[in-house]
Amino acid sequence: MMMRPMFERWKYERRQQKIEKKLYSQFFVRKNEGKFDNAFFDESDSPLSPDGEVRLKVALDEYNREAQRLRMWFDKLCTDRLCREAVRLDIELPRGDELWEKSPLGGILKRGARGDLRRKIDDEKSRRRDVTAWWWKTVILPAMTFLIGIIGALTGLVVVLKRH
């Protein structure tokens, strides 16, 4: 089952918040007496001491790696969704190495290429909607109007013939 884009975004933002909360709780949560309460600092440490700075840099590097992995996962989801939609609408996928990024998850479209593909998808959907509207406006509704008029005339004719 394909996730909707809105829920993909919520899931991405929720994971991002969890990563930020983990980093925040490791370094900036204090007890009531003003001491740090986490696994990285003991009572004499602070984030500003040399040892604390090294630990903070390590944690920030871990945070950045996790955030980058999360962004890559979300970009892959967006790319897959757009590619499925493009194939369904018979739109040619972008070609060329300059439009694709390589990642451990597979090929990911760069932001500009994703925007172009979205624009092509929107144009194709608009074209199809216009064709459908043309059919309704010029063929289906006039035919229905004609048939309803014939049915009304026949009903009136039957009523008049039955009275006489």
Residue 109 lies in a domain: yes
161 or 37: which leads in pLDDT? 161
Of 22-36, 76-90, 113-127, the one with minimum mean pLDDT is 22-36
HSE-up of residue 23 (Cα within 13 Å, Cβ side): 17
Residue 137 DSSP symbol: I
Q: If 0-12 CB within 10 Å is exposed, 13-18 middle and 19+ buried, where does residue 109 land?
A: buried
- Please provide the average confidence, as pLDDT, over all residues in the chain: 81
Q: Is 121 exposed, middle or buried (0-12, 13-18, 19+ CB in 10 A)?
A: middle
| Predicted pLDDT at 36 | 46
Task: Report residue 31's pLDDT band, with 50, 70 and 90 as the boundaries.
Answer: very low
| Residue 49 domain-assigned (yes or no) | yes
Within-domain flag for 52: yes
Q: Count structural domains, the chain.
A: 1
Q: Is residue 131 part of a domain?
A: yes
Q: What is the separation, in whole angstroms, between the first and last Cα of the chain? A: 65
pLDDT tens-place string over residues 134-145? 999 999 999 999
Predicted confidence at residue 90, as pLDDT, reads 93
Buried b / exposed e along 23-47 (16+ C-beta atoms within 10 A) = beebbeeeeeeeebeeeebeeebeb
What pLDDT was estimated at residue 157?
95
pLDDT class of 4 with cuts at 50, 70, 90: low
Evaluate whether residue 153 is within a structural domain.
no
CA contacts within 13 A on the Cβ side of 133: 6
Examine residue 123 and state whether it is found in any structural domain, yes or no.
yes
**159: how many CB neighbours lie within 10 A of its CB?**
9
Q: What is the mean pLDDT of residues 80-101?
A: 91
- For residue 100, tell me if it sits in a domain: yes
With respect to residue 34, please indicate whether it lies within any of the assigned structural domains. Answer: yes
pLDDT at 1 over 60: no
Report how far residue 70's alpha carbon sits from residue 107's, in angstroms, rounded to the nearest whole number. Answer: 15
Residue 100: C-alpha distances to residues 1, 75, 76, 95, 117 (Å): 26, 11, 11, 8, 12
Q: Can you give the pLDDT at residue 51?
A: 61
Residue range of the domain that includes 14: 5-135
Site of tokens 């609408």: 89
pLDDT at position 33, please? Answer: 43
